[in-house]
Structure 1
Amino acid sequence: MFNFCSNIPRQLVNLQQCNPIFQPCPSGPFVYFTNSTNFTINGSFTVVNTSTHCTMNIVYVHSGTTTAIPLAAGRAETIFFEDLTSITIECLMGAIAEANCTGNLLLDLHYCVRCITP
């Protein structure tokens, strides 16, 4: 269980967003998320690969660790994390050439902000 906001003068913020994935197959890595704030972002994300033949390579950095997960065509993967820094997706050639790699990236992010009282 995450301890999102341990101090009273903080407020938990929840951001949910769905991003389309559409890139050439094969392709180099495309950046889909970068934490450019000083907030510690916790939560989960789901990648849905709607391609028929293209495999996605999901690379994410969390808590200073880089993790790579291959995701076959027609599959989905949900990943839970603490202190997310970035998410990139690379499309790899499958057994049959495919023009584009398609799918969705569903973000469910949580972070704390300091509450300022008037």
Structure 2
Amino acid sequence: MCATTSGTPVFNFCKTVTDQLVNIQQCNPINQPTPSGEIVYYQNLTDLVVKGSSTVINTSTFSVMTVVYAQGGLSTNLILEPGRSFTLFFENLTGITVQAAAGPSPEAACTGTLLLDLHYCVECSF
């Protein structure tokens, strides 16, 4: 991850040469009771600024999801109907929670997928 230059040009999104861009991609299943309180699916417990994108897919037949994205001091609430998906790009992600609400016909679980593509800079020590 952190290496000296090898003669190959590398574009670094970080602000300094000693920082290195880290990219993490995750695919997280969503499976929670209907109805349910908020369940945390991502939480940034560091002081790193996390950028990237997230896609939530609601594969439930009847359950409605409320997805809350926390970015810095702001929150974005998204209502996701069954069979729908939504992609959000973010600049300073601090958390993602999902709450399941019963739709017109209750079902045992709210199901789906949370896809994360996260980018952040770390300082390298050589």
Q: Normalised by the shorter chain, which TM-score bucket?
A: over 0.9
Distance 1:113 1:59 in 2: 26
Question: For 2:98, which of 86, 89, 92 is the aligned residue?
Answer: 89
- Letter aligned with residue 38 of structure 1: D
Compared with structure 1, are the counterparts of its residues 61 and 4 closer, same or farther at alpha carbon in structure 2 (3 Å cutoff)?
A: farther
Partner of residue 62, structure 1: 71
Question: For 1:26, which of 12, 27, 35 is the aligned residue?
Answer: 35
Partner of residue 47, structure 1: 56
- Letter aligned with residue 12 of structure 1: L
- Calculate percent identity across the aligned residue pairs: 54
Residue 63 of structure 1: CA displacement?
A: 2.6
Distance 1:4 1:74 in 2: 35
Distance 1:51 1:64 in 2: 30
Task: Confirm or deny: 8 A CA contact 1:4 1:111 kept in the other structure.
Answer: no
Residues matched between the structures, number: 115
Partner of residue 18, structure 2: 9
Partner of residue 45, structure 2: 36
Deviations 1:52-107 (CA, angstroms, capped at 9, x unpaired): 11010000101311110000000110110011000000001101111100011001
Distance 1:55 1:94 in 2: 6
Structure whose alpha-carbon radius of gyration is higher:
2
Which SS does the other structure have where 1:39 is aligned?
coil
RMSD of aligned residue pairs (Cα, Å):
1.1
Which SS does the other structure have where 1:52 is aligned?
coil
Distance 2:83 2:46 in 1: 33
